Homo-oligomer: A and B are copies of this chain.
Amino acid sequence: MKFHQHISVLPTYEVGKPLELVMRDYNIEPQNIIKLGSNENPLGTSPLAKEAILENACNAYIYPDDSYYELKESLAKKYDIESNQIIIGSGSDQIIEFCIHAICDKNTKVLMAKTTFAMYAIYAKHCNATILRTPDFFHNLDSMLQYYEAHKPSIIFLCTPNNPLGEALPKSQVIDFLKKIDRESLVVLDCAYMEYCAYKDSNYAISPKDIIDFPNVIYLGTFSKIYGLGGMRVGYGIANKTIIDTLNKIRPPFNITTLSLKAASASLFDEEFLQDSVKNNFSEMEKYKQFAKQYEIDILESYANFVTFILHNKLNSTKISNLLLRQGIVVRDLASYGLNAVRITIGISQQNDIVIQKLTDILQDL
């Protein structure tokens, strides 16, 4: 067979280490593993979602309602938009894939920040598109605009709050930016962590309603983070009907599971769980800030559900990540992003206390 040459040389996305691998490699029991490498919700699954899963387990043999009617109606109500302005994906990742596959080929360019969610570039490489990155450490909309004008990319990715660095963009700046982009370029606004950001500072809160009148903008959200359904693979894209209709043409049928559909629909209005999740996040984040201050380690201001430490001098991110891993603590080494940095998901109180104690031990042993 002649596989496409550009596919054969593709990199593979590095995922956070799963429990099973830590158990196998380090012989640690699952209850002793602290998994803070994948930005999952440390409060677990929304109780309403769990109930929906238990109720529907007997229906695992039935394909889901491929129109996703109930979930789209609920999302439309929540965001005050129309249900035909919504597409459902197997995680918001899959909507990224749809956008790139529907637009890109070897003659197109995709623009993104220097350090941002790895899947944008990976999917762009599936289509052999040219990847452009702004040179700044954080998202910089002035740079982004310069690159846009110079290169006219077919797609621009903005990730706010940004994974893996945690910075966010003020709503007013984003809207001003969008007004300057003509409709030949699709802007993908990845808001996977928006619920955390909106709680922290309302000036940074962007809602699908804010962008729905732009003809060339799509808003991405996910059930994997605040909704506590990372394992169920459900995300959504919200844009005008023309964009949604086109993306739906390449959406495979039954792209989420029967149980995922029920769980996502149930979790959407679990307000108590959502409130508990954001509150735990920002109160517990203080502990990491204190730790960073005490040991004079750079910690990035985070609008999301993780903190990122930028390491200097004697500290090596891979070494520290591995030392923690041997003790059953999973964090994300950002070496694959070209950074000497570690990203840690904010856990529940007890988890964070243990992580900070282990980090302290490691620093004192150096």
If A229-B60, A231-B63 touch, whether A103 touches B3 (CB-CB below 8 Å) is yes
- Across-interface contacts of A243 in B (CB, < 8 A): 1
**Alpha-carbon distance A304/B154, docked complex (angstroms):** 46
Interface presence of A13 (CB below 8 A): yes
Interface presence of A40 (CB below 8 A): yes
Residues 44-60 of A contacting B (Cβ, < 8 Å) = 44-45, 49-50, 53-54, 57-60
Contact partner, A2, options B44, B184, B231, B232, Cβ 8 Å: B184
Interface presence of A12 (CB below 8 A): yes
Q: Could you tell me the distance in whole angstroms from the C-beta of A352 to the nearest C-beta in chain B?
A: 17
- Across-interface contacts of A110 in B (CB, < 8 A): none
- Across-interface contacts of A18 in B (CB, < 8 A): 62-67
- Contact assessment for A231 and B252 in the assembled complex, using a CB-CB cutoff below 8 Å: no
Q: Could you tell me the distance in whole angstroms from the C-beta of A183 to the nearest C-beta in chain B?
A: 7
- Contact assessment for B60 and A50 in the assembled complex, using a CB-CB cutoff below 8 Å: yes
Question: A212-256 CB contact bits vs B (8 Å, 1 = yes)?
Answer: 000010000000100011111100000000010010111011111
The segment from A87-95, A137-145, A292-300, A333-341 that touches chain B is A87-95
The segment from A77-85, A258-266, A309-317 that touches chain B is A258-266
- Contact assessment for A62 and B230 in the assembled complex, using a CB-CB cutoff below 8 Å: yes
Q: Could you tell me the distance in whole angstroms from the C-beta of A41 to the nearest C-beta in chain B?
A: 5
Most B CB contacts (10 A, CB to CB) among A10, A41, A58, A254 go to A254
**Alpha-carbon distance A56/B318, docked complex (angstroms):** 31
- Across-interface contacts of A7 in B (CB, < 8 A): 101-102, 246, 249-250
**Alpha-carbon distance A10/B229, docked complex (angstroms):** 32
Please tell me the number of chain A residues within 8 Å of chain B, measured between CB atoms: 79
**Alpha-carbon distance A243/B3, docked complex (angstroms):** 9
**Alpha-carbon distance A35/B1, docked complex (angstroms):** 40
Interface presence of A276 (CB below 8 A): no
- Contact assessment for A8 and B97 in the assembled complex, using a CB-CB cutoff below 8 Å: no
Copies of this chain in the oligomer: 2
Q: Which residue of B lies closest to A252 (CB)?
A: B93
Residues 154-199 of A contacting B (Cβ, < 8 Å) = 154, 183-186
- Contact assessment for B1 and A228 in the assembled complex, using a CB-CB cutoff below 8 Å: no
Q: Could you tell me the distance in whole angstroms from the C-beta of A276 to the nearest C-beta in chain B?
A: 13
If A67-B18, A259-B53 touch, whether A60 touches B232 (CB-CB below 8 Å) is yes
Q: Which residue of B lies closest to A60 (CB)?
A: B45
If A54-B57, A60-B45, A67-B18 touch, whether A252 touches B1 (CB-CB below 8 Å) is no
- Contact assessment for A66 and B15 in the assembled complex, using a CB-CB cutoff below 8 Å: yes
**Alpha-carbon distance A128/B1, docked complex (angstroms):** 18
- Across-interface contacts of A19 in B (CB, < 8 A): 62, 65
Interface presence of A109 (CB below 8 A): no
Interface presence of A257 (CB below 8 A): yes
Question: A1-44 CB contact bits vs B (8 Å, 1 = yes)?
Answer: 11110011010110110111100100000000001001011011
Q: Could you tell me the distance in whole angstroms from the C-beta of A253 to the nearest C-beta in chain B?
A: 5
> 8 tightest A-B contacts by CB?
A231-B258, A18-B65, A61-B228, A10-B249, A20-B65, A45-B60, A53-B57, A1-B186
A-B contact pairs, 8 of them (CB 8 A): A2-B184, A7-B101, A20-B67, A21-B69, A44-B58, A45-B61, A61-B231, A63-B231
